[in-house]
Every structure is written in C-alpha cells, then in structure tokens.
Amino acid sequence: MTVVQAKIEADKGWRIWWQLTRPHTLTAAFVPVSLGTALAYLEGSINWFVFISMLVASMLIQAATNMFNEYFDFKRGLDHEGSVGIGGAIVRNGVKPKTVLNLAFSFFGIATLLGLYICIQSSWWVAVIGVICMLAGYYYTGGPIPIAYTPFGEIVAGFFMGTVIIVLSFFIQTGNVSTEAFIISIPIAILVGNILLANNIRDLDGDKENGRKTLAILVGRTNAIRVLAAFFGLAYASLIFFILFNSFSLWVLLPLASIPIAVKATKGFIGKSVPLEMYPAMKATAQTNTIFGLLLTIALLLQAFL
C-alpha cells in the first residue's frame, strides 16, 4: 500500500467513526447547554470548566444514544444498507455491532467522570439527574418497549434534551432553579421534539411495516406535517410570551430570524413520500433548532452586556 492509499484509508476510517455519532444531531446537546449557561450569566459570573464539562458530557450522551439507536435498530432488523439518516457503521462499513455497543457505553463512562466533577462543583443531585438522562438515552431505542417506537418519543426527547439540560446547565452555575430557566426551555423542547417528529415523518412507511406506533403513524403523514408546523408556530409564539413575562428584553425576538428555515422545513415534507426526498426538510428542521437556540443564546448575552 502506498502512502497516499494509506492516508485515504485512514481518512475513510476516521469518517466512519465520526458518522457513527451522527454529528448533525449533536447541536441538540450543544444548544441547550449554551442557552442554560447564558441564562445563568445574567445572574453573575460562570465557571467555564463546569460549562465545558457539561457541554462535553451532554454531547457524549447524545452520541451514545445515537449509537444505541444504531445497534438496536440493526439487531431488530430495521436498518439495511440503503437506510437513510443512519450512521451506517454496521450495515455499510462492517463495524461489529458489539463494538458499537461498547463504544456507546464507553461514552457513557466518560460522561459519568465529567459528571462527577460537575457534582463536586455543584450538587450530588446532578448525579441522580445524569443517571436518569443516560437511562432515557439507552431505553430510547433499547429495552423491550423502546420509547422511540411509541407516540411519546417526541415528548421524551424534547423534555430531556430541552428542558432538563437547560435547567441543569443553569443550576450547576447558580445553585438554584428559576422559573425563567423553565420558561426559556419551552421553545427548545418543542424544536427538539420536532427533530424527532421530522425523522418519524420521513421513516413513516418503514416504521409502520416494522410495527412501530410513532406519533406520525398514529395521525398520518398529512396531519403529522400539520403538527410539525403547529409546533414551529408555538415555539416562535413563546418568544412573545417571554416579553410579556417581563424578565427578558426585546433581544429575545432575535430567533424570529430563523422563521424562513422553519417554513422551508415544513414545505419540504409536503407531497413527499420517498425518504431521500425528505432529507433536505429533515436537515432544515435540525437547522431551525440550532439557529433558533444560538440566536436566543446571543439574545441573553446581549441582555447581560447592554
């Protein structure tokens, strides 16, 4: 093997493991941690080491959850070489299923060590919440009745990846839990839930064949798209509530700039039934959460500085 060929093989190997984490989903962990920390900054200084530890731990748990998804969907015969939206390490790249499972547990282990540091700096209650979050990540696609196969997948994902992470990120910096932390988490919880709903709209036909009972299957494709649009609308409407709540400045309206992406996401599903055709809409749904969350984070920082 030449030096050039060796480099190509190394690059390919690196990409296999990177894709296994499903990097496009990691912003669902990055955004709430940043938002919760920015809210804490309004009350004073923050501990940057705690912030980075929380950020890395959350992203590791998200990546591990994706790996559990890959493993259990393969074991149940749901994934194949042509499946859209998966890492593909097992069915396309020949990675052993046990390796994927072990790597997921390894990520949980590293997240646990980071969690211990966070507990030392804040409260041991964080350990309890962290364990619950990891159990939710495992049982999302693991166990006898995976959460992802039920109509409650969007609710669970939105609650843990939105509300819990934001409130926890705020708590470990301030030592308290405020009403504002719960309120500011509402649109993020909705948008994270929408990412899962979009995924289930795309996979509706295949999921139905495999016996899943997702929200998209129960209400049908057309109504599921309507629910997606309604949730987008609810997330943006909550910004007005923030102003009325009187704890936030007009800067919190910044996320309204992401409305065109939400519109693109919704329209991208209309009239589509082939999974590959819906990939741009899926991508736009995830981008809406990312841009909305980052703009809201910037809004809180502007409120703190100005």
Give pLDDT tens digits for 49-65.
999 999 999 999 999 99
User: How many independent structural domains does the chain possess?
Assistant: 1
Which pTM value belongs to this model?
0.89
pLDDT recorded at residue 262: 97
Q: Could you tell me the CATH number of the domain that includes residue 151?
A: 1.10.600
Burial of 264 (0-12, 13-18, 19+ CB in 10 A): middle
DSSP line for 67-84: HHHHHHHHHTT---TT-S
pLDDT exceeds cutoff 60 at 10: no
More confident residue, 69 or 216: 216
Share of the chain above pLDDT 70, in %: 92
pLDDT recorded at residue 75: 82
Q: Mean pLDDT for the chain?
A: 89
Nearest to 216 by CA among 149, 142, 285, 140: 149
Whether the CB-CB separation of 289 and 195 falls below 8 Å is answered with yes
| Residues 81-109, mean pLDDT to the nearest whole number | 81
Tens of pLDDT along 244-302? Answer: 876 788 999 999 999 999 999 999 999 998 888 998 999 999 999 999 999 999 999 99
**Confidence category of residue 159, pLDDT binned at 50, 70, 90:** very high
Q: How far apart are CA 128 and CA 109, in angstroms?
A: 15
Show the domain range for 45: 3-305
| Residues 162-169, mean pLDDT to the nearest whole number | 95
pLDDT exceeds cutoff 80 at 13: no
**Confidence category of residue 4, pLDDT binned at 50, 70, 90:** very low
